[in-house]
Amino acid sequence: MSGRSPDDDPVQDVRRAEALFRSSEHAAALDILDALDIATLPPSILDRALPLMLMAGEATAGEEFSLRLLGRIERLTAHGDLDASSIVMTYRAEATAEPRRRAELATVALDRLSVSTAPVSRHRAIAVLLAAKVDLGQGFDHELLAQMEELERQIDLVAPVDSALAQRGFLAYQVGLLDESRNALALLRRQARIDGEPFMERIFTIHLATVDVYAGRRTAADDLRGVTEADAVLSPAAARASGLIALRGADEAALQAVLLQPTVQGSEVHGALTRRALIGLAAARREQWREAYQQLSIALAHAESLGSQEPGRRMWIDFDLARAAVGTGRRQDARRMTDRLEILSRGSRPLLDGVVIRIHALLAAEEDPPRSVEMLEDSVAVLSGAGFPDQLVLSLLELGRALASLGRFDDARQVLERAHVLAHQTGDLSLGLLVDRAMALASSDAVLAALTTREREIARAAARGASSRQIAEESFTSVRTVETQLSSVYRKLGITSRAQLMFLLADRVRAERVGSLPRRAERWAAEGGSAPTGLCG
């Protein structure tokens, strides 16, 4: 900031910088803006120059550089007029991590900024407040969005990434509005491509891939690969999208690559949140509830350190964390988490409502199995219109298991077949493996339904290849007793040999083996409960 612009005409310099920025020549735009005498700029020029400087700085040298630049500008304008300080306050609000404080600063700036003096900064302050409300779990404020759209009809300097349409794209899916986000992001990406703005196109593609993953669209992986395959460093948003794609594809090698890849400087907590969440979500997909609870609890702590209360901002880790709490016997924790989700939903968010009903059903399963089935049927009905196929599959999976536990095997098979079709239609292979395993177990349970509890135990052990002596030793009984009980099993099942028994229960044996495969995350937990150095930020 030399105190003189190249042409001594700040208006022309800002216009040149705008043109360069739109052409993705961010370093050149920054050079021009950096030569301006910020302390003497009229508010109407500062209003246009400041956001360009910060965006060009981040695009050129990263988030940390942009934050240092903002600090310098704050010092230079500290004794300026109220309009200038309010303009700078808007961007300080945007850079503030704690969402409640961010909302407070944005509100003060909005009260001070007029449309005539600083329309761009007023527009940005509304965007900051909109995002802060999402972070605080207050939903997506369409009235604020309408104010942004009205301002955009009056000003001509709104970068695509800051537009009302972009806020719709970035934020709506995080509160469950997938179609609203997807339509906005698809339009923005198409326009960025037409305008020759690869930086903007990349940002929109990353978020669109995330939306497509949640919506069960198979195109997500191909779209994302095209913009990140050469990256040595990932943004947290790109890491989240890449990790979720690997998770749903049951691609452990790809997931490990994401976990090992560093994220951009200045985003350490966001990077740690993303990595821990992905490790925990992967464990939940394997139904390794202890590991899932441990990793997702750490991820939740990271999210809360950022002030984030919206489940979508937290990659929906609340859902699997509540399920892991049930799976590890932490029933009060699960109830507390579902109570919070109910408060956030207030009966108006089908995604949250359907998940809450599912967790309540699992909590009720032990005491009232028929009631648990009814609740799971309600969960399926609610989630059928929510737009998140993975959550619908999970409720169908739990319903199928609950029906099988009541001996309603035909009903269980129908429910699980629906889950199987949906999981594979959406390309969610990790959920498909869980569903296929449940189908195999339910089928074998139907076969074994005529046996006593002891006969079922012996039949399963024999089907796994255990000898009569091994079964006898494990159950502290005699070989003769085991052989007698096996003969009873053969008679009831209409077979005559151990080989036929193994064939009859082969699907169950395979399902049990899939469920017990060791995973790297489990080994990390055994070595101290955390991922290797470098995996978490």
pLDDT digits (tens, 9 = 90+) for 463-473: 888 898 998 88
pLDDT band with cut points at 50, 70 and 90 for residue 199: confident
Q: Which residue has the higher pLDDT, 535 or 418?
A: 418
Residue 505 has pLDDT above 80, yes or no: no
Angle at 380 between CA 378 and CA 383, to 5 degrees: 110
User: Stretch 494-505: mean pLDDT, rounded?
Assistant: 79
C-alpha span between 406 and 2 (Å, rounded): 78
- Mean pLDDT over residues 327-342, rounded? 97
DSSP state of 346: T
pLDDT above 70 for 235: yes
- Secondary element (H or E) of residue 286: none
Q: Are 1 and 35 in contact (CB under 8 A)?
A: yes
Residue 137: the pLDDT is: 94
Confidence band, pLDDT 50/70/90 cuts, at residue 513: low
- For residue 374, what pLDDT is reported? 98
Whether the model clears a pTM of 0.75, i.e. scores above it, the answer is: yes
**Mean pLDDT calculated for residue range 269-294:** 95
> For residue 434, which of 245, 264, 256, 288 has the smallest C-alpha distance?
288
Average pLDDT, integer, range 259-268? 79
Q: What is the pLDDT of residue 358?
A: 98
Asked if residues 449 and 407 have their Cβ atoms less than 8 Å apart, the reply is yes
Name the token pair of 384: 């059928």
What is the 3-state composition of the chain as percent helix, strand, coil, each rounded to the nearest 5? 75, 0, 25
Q: Tell whether the model's pLDDT for residue 177 goes beyond 50.
A: yes
Can you tell me the mean pLDDT for 389-411?
Answer: 95
Mean per-residue pLDDT over the chain, rounded = 88
Cβ atoms 128, 99 nearer than 8 A: no
Please state, for a pLDDT cut of 70, what percent of the chain lies above it: 92
Average pLDDT over residues 317-323: 98
pLDDT score of 522:
39
**Contact between residue 53 and residue 18 where contact means Cβ atoms under 8 Å apart:** no
pLDDT of residue 8: 65
| pLDDT-wise least confident of 274-283, 309-318, 342-351, 445-454 | 445-454
pLDDT level of residue 361 (50, 70, 90 thresholds): very high
- Of the pLDDT bands very low, low, confident and very high (cuts 50, 70, 90), residue 180 is very high
- What does the pLDDT read at residue 141? 96
pLDDT score for 46: 93
Where do the H-state alpha helices sit in 476-532? 479-493, 498-504, 506-515, 520-526
The amino acid at 140: F
